[in-house]
């Protein structure tokens, strides 16, 4: 692995419909414009809930080992499609053993079912073109994605705004004393979401999506606790 990722190619417009747009069209819905530009309202774009498992905590040094994504429509938040891929690390010697354990990494399984990073990111880009990238602590996932796109010389396919479900949970549920870390597991317990396999990419992406729906439904029903009054700094 090089010390500095290669500069990505310039984004290009993809002609025709991607698979997600085709599914929307078949369902009689209008797909969001598949461009990264600011054209088209944010509320009309699909949302791609993403989770990554990685070989460590340092993007550009450690690597993506698994990708899970759930693409949903707006404004009804219905699942359009899902994506899951085990990614073959190129430099396992840089991996942190604890990260491999947490992420359920099994070298034999990955050797059989895994695919190269570039292939996985090309497939993810195809379904996520122009979508709003969302995640639980999405900054972490985006840092690894950005390093990955640079490394394999692919453009960033997503809308330029990103959405962090953890930040939304912190602001909307701050007054709930049962929350200590505002973790995904705490949010799942609060909203009654079953995470079928925590720390596997697709299961965590699905859980993040379901927590998002719970937060949005709570907000629309005025179930959130009012924020305390803001006091000027001394």
pLDDT tens for the 234 residues of the chain, in order: 434 333 334 334 444 444 444 443 444 443 333 445 445 788 899 999 999 999 999 999 999 999 999 999 999 999 999 999 999 999 999 999 999 999 999 999 999 999 999 999 999 999 999 999 999 999 999 999 999 999 999 999 999 999 999 999 999 989 888 888 899 999 999 999 999 899 999 999 999 999 999 999 988 775 444 444 445 554
CA atoms within 13 A on the CB side of 216: 12
Nearest CA among 72, 19, 53, 99 for reference residue 206:
72
Domain boundaries, the chain: 42-220
Q: Is CATH 2.130.10.10 the classification given to domain 42-220?
A: no
Residue recorded with tokens 């938040």: 77
Q: What pLDDT is attached to residue 36? A: 52
Structure tokens at 198: 């925590």
Report the alpha-carbon distance of residue 144 to residue 10 in Å, rounded. Answer: 19
CB 184 within 8 A of CB 39: no
């Amino acid at each position: 692995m090089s010390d500095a990722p290669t500069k990505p190619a310039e984004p290009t417009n993809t002609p025709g419909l991607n698979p997600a747009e085709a599914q929307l069209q078949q369902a009689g819905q209008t797909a969001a414009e598949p461009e990264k530009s600011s054209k088209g309202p944010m509320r009309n774009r699909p949302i791609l809930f993403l989770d990554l498992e990685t070989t460590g905590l340092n993007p550009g040094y450690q690597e993506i080992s698994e990708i899970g994504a759930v693409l949903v429509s707006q404004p009804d938040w219905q699942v359009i499609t899902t994506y899951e891929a085990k990614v073959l690390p190129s430099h396992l010697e840089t991996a942190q053993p604890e990260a491999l354990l947490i992420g359920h990494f099994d070298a034999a399984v990955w050797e059989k079912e895994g695919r190269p990073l570039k292939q996985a990111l090309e497939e993810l880009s195809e379904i996520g073109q122009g979508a709003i990238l969302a995640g639980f602590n999405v900054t972490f996932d985006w840092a690894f994605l950005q390093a990955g796109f640079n490394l394999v010389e692919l453009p960033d396919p997503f809308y330029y705004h990103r959405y962090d479900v953890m930040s939304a949970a912190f602001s909307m549920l701050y007054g709930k004393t049962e929350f200590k870390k505002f973790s995904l597991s705490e949010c799942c317990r609060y909203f009654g979401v079953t995470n079928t396999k925590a720390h596997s990419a697709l299961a965590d992406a699905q859980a993040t999506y379901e927590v998002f729906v719970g937060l949005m439904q709570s907000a629309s029903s005025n179930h959130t606790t009012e924020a305390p009054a803001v006091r000027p700094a001394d």
